[in-house]
């Protein structure tokens, strides 16, 4: 059902070393809604926390409405945040998160994404760190899902349209 696109990437495409210049009492916090592969490659002292958000539900396109299903627990006032994301598509979710963290008092918000799909962007937002740019196709695997399926594939693949036709 999913055509293979690529293999699991190696270590992060860009190091977080430049972030060491940030003043921080306990390092930048990394916020994520996906498995934090990039956090494993992080070379600086940091806190890791999770936030769960959704704008797709069981569809292949965003509803545009972002819902927080699990919020952060720590105070981020004055902290430098790195959001680690699986895919930057329409930009709705990351635009929302960046604004959300800034209103909670973050000193800065940087974005790290495994996959970037700039052709689908509806919000003006760019990632600071990008693994790969992908074409305008629905991708699954390696943590990415369609209706909670295919997340466990050990590679990233393109979901065949017949799987979701009729949406």
How far apart CA 18 and CA 56 sit, in angstroms, is 33
d(CA 126, CA 113): 10
Reference 17, options 40, 37, 44; nearest CA is 44
**CB-based burial, 144-158: b 16+ in 10 Å, e otherwise:** bbbeeebeebeebbb
- Is 47 annotated as catalytic? no
- 116 within 8 A of 88, measured Cβ to Cβ: yes
Q: Number of helices and strands (H, E) in the chain? A: 3, 10
Considering the candidates 47, 71, 75, 89, report the single residue annotated as catalytic: 89
Tokens representing residue 70 in the block? 């699990």
- Do the Cβ atoms of 146 and 107 come closer than 8 Å? no
**Tokens (6 digits) for 89:** 């598509």
* Residues that are catalytic: 89
């Amino acid at each position: 059902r999913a055509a293979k696109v690529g293999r699991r990437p190696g270590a992060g495409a860009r190091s977080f070393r430049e972030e060491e210049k940030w003043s921080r009492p306990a390092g930048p916090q990394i916020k994520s809604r996906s498995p934090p592969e990039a956090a494993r490659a992080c070379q600086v002292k940091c806190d890791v926390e999770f936030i769960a958000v959704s704008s797709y539900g069981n569809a292949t396109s965003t509803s545009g409405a972002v819902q927080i299903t699990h919020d952060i627990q720590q105070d981020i006032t004055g902290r430098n945040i790195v959001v680690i994301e699986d895919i930057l598509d329409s930009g709705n979710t990351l635009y929302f998160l960046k604004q959300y963290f800034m209103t909670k008092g973050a000193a800065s918000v940087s974005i790290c994404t495994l996959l970037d799909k700039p052709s689908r962007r509806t919000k003006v937002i760019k990632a600071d760190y990008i693994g790969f740019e992908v074409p305008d196709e629905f991708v699954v695997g390696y943590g990415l899902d369609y209706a909670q399926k295919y997340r466990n594939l050990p590679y990233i693949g393109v979901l065949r349209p017949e799987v979701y036709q009729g949406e």
